[in-house]
Structure 1
Amino acid sequence: MKKSNYELAISETIVATQYKDIVTLIAQGNNNTSGYKVFFEKSPIDVIPPEFILFQIPPSELVLNAITPFTAVAAFHSDKITKNLLVKDRNGKRTVEVLKIKAAV
């Protein structure tokens, strides 16, 4: 995909968790039509806390004209406890607290 097709997505909720050495970032929201591809991309700038950008690629084919929910997920390895992540979407940049999970259910 060409990066020129990328645009910032709008998320309604963003949650981050850490279990042992895996940090997971989840965004959820809705688009006005079907066919959007929504995903996280790690910022090319190496900063602490880590920064992620929520992108979407608009549909290029015929779509259903209906509100369509999306979920985007990113995960990465971290040897250290991660307290926060920075997430940029169309609403701007925000700090997301990372919730610690002590045991898998």
Structure 2
Amino acid sequence: MMNAAYICTHNNGHPFLVLSYEAKIKLNKKLMLPSMKYRGFTVFQAVIIDYNLERFSLYPKDTEKITEYKSGEPLPLNLARPDYSNLPSEDEVRRIIKDKRMVII
């Protein structure tokens, strides 16, 4: 969540999912919409809240108190949202994953 990147690790035979240009644009727009789960927050902030809850057992009210990012610690709600339209193109991903299967969504 710190930057827009694909994680190309061992995939157990499953194809890598790569976003099309249109899907990248839709993802950027969706992340800026109001969250239906956490009122008063965006979808991106809701992802941060859920991450902090799962990873650090930190409740939403406690996440609101975090004001700066420190490596290895819970994420702040004011974390800059990466621009997912900057993800590598299909051709760039093909070069990275070489002979593995890839699915464009």
For the aligned pair, the TM-score class normalised by the smaller chain equals under 0.3
User: TM-score when scaled to structure 1?
Assistant: 0.26
Pick the structure with more helix per residue: 2
Pick the structure with more strand per residue: 1
Task: Indicate the structure whose relative CO is greater, using CA pairs within 8 Å and at least 6 residues apart.
Answer: 2
* Bigger Rg over Cα: 2
